[in-house]
């Protein structure tokens, strides 16, 4: 059987697949090239760059399984795959710690103006008065999405003595109670939170969830962190809210269009901390997700049961 790996994934995952299958690693295929080659393959491994559209799935006459070396499957048309009997698996846990820690790094960098101060020093400046930050202790952190990463962020925020509230319609109060935090409705989070961090999937329901109307209902001076998915926040509206002083700053790892284009409005404001989708980019996480997804694919191609995304 043949496996196509169409995005860069750790060699550890490729090695597992090569023990049993023929594996071609071909990153940066254009959409047309992917359509042309996909009929040859029984399995496809992607990260987030490859878009597995309905057209790709229709052209994939031999495909049995698509593996996503990460959590979000929003770059895969799961419905089209399911209709065609193609299994979609992901690696839901391998990058949880990496994304959790990146969220904390972004929150702290935002609170203390770390990138701006660093850039200033590189300009040979010494501006101690310009970069006064805020403390996390005693601040209200609102978490939208209390899954794996949201939970990891809650635990770390509690250790920093923040007051944590979270909204997740699919999580019971027992989980929140065990963590030592309160569940709240979105309106309560918008009105109380000093920091809001997003940890939910991009779905038709969550697309554009944070927009001009929701910013208008937030506490003035709120800081926003998004290490979940671009598209959940309306970037033009966020830029306006920063300019209007409603939002004191934002730390953003994920964007509506990636790679970010030069006309992205967030590039025009100073009070932002931006990283190029680095949430899962640790050595440990990249091995973790590649190994998990390779094991899932190998099991499925052997005809063994696997957990679908």
Which positions touch ligand NAD (CB under 6 A)? Answer: 70-72, 92, 95-96, 99, 144-150, 167-171, 199-202, 205-206, 227-229, 253-254, 277, 279-280
Please identify which of the residues 156, 175, 258, 295 carries the catalytic annotation. Answer: 258
Other C-beta atoms within 10 Å of 138: how many?
10
Pick one of ligand MLT, ligand NAD, none as the site partner of residue 67 (Cβ within 5 to 8 A by kind): none
- In the complex, the smallest distance separating the C-beta of residue 252 from ligand NAD, rounded to whole angstroms, is 10
List the helix and strand counts (H, then E) for the chain.
12, 12
Closest CA to 193 of 239, 142, 147, 134: 142
Cα–Cα distance, 165 to 192 (Å, whole number): 9
> How near is the Cβ of 149 to ligand NAD at its closest, in Å?
3
DSSP 210: B
Q: How far is CA 212 from CA 8, 98, 242, 263, in A?
A: 36, 30, 11, 19
Classify 46 as helix, strand or coil.
Answer: strand
Torsion angle of the four alpha carbons 67, 71, 72, 78, in this order, in degrees rounded to the nearest 10: 40
Q: Which two tokens stand for residue 299?
A: 């099991």
CB of 240 to ligand MLT, least distance (A): 26
> Which residue is nearest to ligand MLT, using beta carbons?
70
Site residues for ligand MLT per CB under 6 A: 47-48, 70-72, 95, 279-280
Work out what residue 147 binds among ligand MLT, ligand NAD, none; the CB cut-off runs from 5 to 8 Å by kind.
ligand NAD
Closest approach of ligand MLT to the CB of residue 24, in Å: 20
Q: Identify the bridge partners of residue 285 per DSSP, sorted by sequence position.
A: none
What is the gyration radius of the CA atoms in the chain, in angstroms?
Answer: 21
What letter would DSSP give residue 266?
G
Measured at the alpha carbon of residue 46, what is the angle toward residues 40 and 51, in degrees to the nearest 5? 85
- Whether 229 sits among the annotated catalytic residues: the reply is yes
Nearer to ligand MLT, 107 or 280 (CB): 280
Nearer to ligand NAD, 96 or 113 (CB): 96
Min dist CB 157 to ligand MLT, Å, is: 21
Catalytic entry in 277, 284, 295, 304: 277
Partner from ligand NAD, ligand MLT, none binding residue 207, C-beta < 5-8 Å depending on class: none
* Smaller CB separation from ligand MLT, 96 or 264: 96
Catalytic-residue membership of 258 = yes
Interaction partner, residue 6 (ligand NAD, ligand MLT, none; CB < 5-8 Å by kind): none
* DSSP H/E element including 78: helix 78-83
CA end-to-end distance (rounded Å), the chain: 22
Considering beta carbons, is residue 90 or 264 the nearer one to ligand MLT? 90
Count CB-CB contacts under 10 A for residue 176: 21
Active site residue 135: no
Residue 47 binds which entry of ligand MLT, ligand NAD, none, CB below 5-8 Å type-dependent: ligand MLT
Options 47, 102, 229, 235, the catalytic residue:
229
Instruction: Find the residue with minimal CB distance to ligand NAD.
Output: 147
225: three-class secondary structure by DSSP: strand
Q: Which is nearer to ligand NAD, 78 or 301 (CB)?
A: 78
Task: Please state the length of the chain.
Answer: 309
SS3 190: helix
- Answer with the entry of ligand NAD, ligand MLT, none that 206 interacts with (C-beta below 5 to 8 A by kind): ligand NAD
| Residues with catalytic roles | 229, 258, 277
């Amino acid at each position: 059987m043949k496996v196509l790996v169409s995005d860069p994934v750790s060699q550890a995952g490729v090695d597992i697949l090569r023990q049993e299958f023929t594996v071609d690693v071909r990153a940066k295929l254009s959409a047309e090239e992917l359509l042309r080659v996909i009929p040859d393959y029984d399995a496809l491994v992607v990260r987030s760059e490859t878009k597995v559209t309905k057209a790709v799935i229709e052209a994939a006459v031999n495909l049995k399984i698509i593996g996503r070396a990460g959590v979000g499957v929003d770059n895969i048309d799961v419905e089209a795959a399911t209709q065609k009997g193609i299994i979609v698996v992901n690696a839901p846990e391998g990058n949880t710690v990496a994304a959790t820690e990146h969220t904390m790094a972004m929150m702290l960098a935002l609170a203390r103006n770390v990138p701006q101060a660093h850039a200033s020093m590189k300009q040979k400046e010494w501006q101690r008065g310009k970069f006064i930050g805020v403390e996390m202790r005693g601040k209200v952190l609102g978490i939208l999405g209390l899954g794996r990463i949201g939970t990891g962020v809650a635990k770390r925020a509690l250790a920093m003595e923040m007051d944590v509230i979270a909204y997740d319609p699919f999580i019971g109060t027992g989980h929140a109670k065990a963590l030592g935090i309160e569940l709240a409705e979105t309106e309560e989070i918008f009105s109380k939170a000093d920091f809001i961090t997003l940890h939910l999937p991009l779905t038709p329901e969550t697309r554009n969830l944070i927009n001009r109307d929701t910013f208008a209902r937030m506490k003035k001076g709120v800081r926003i962190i998004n290490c979940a998915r671009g598209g959940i926040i309306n970037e033009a509206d966020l830029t306006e809210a920063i300019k209007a002083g409603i939002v004191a700053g934002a730390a953003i790892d994920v964007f509506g269009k990636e790679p970010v284009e030069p006309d992205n409005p967030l590039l025009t404001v100073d009070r932002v901390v931006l990283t190029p989708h680095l949430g899962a980019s640790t050595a440990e996480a990249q091995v973790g997700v590649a190994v998990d997804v390779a094991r899932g694919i190998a099991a499925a191609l052997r005809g063994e049961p696997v957990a679908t995304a």
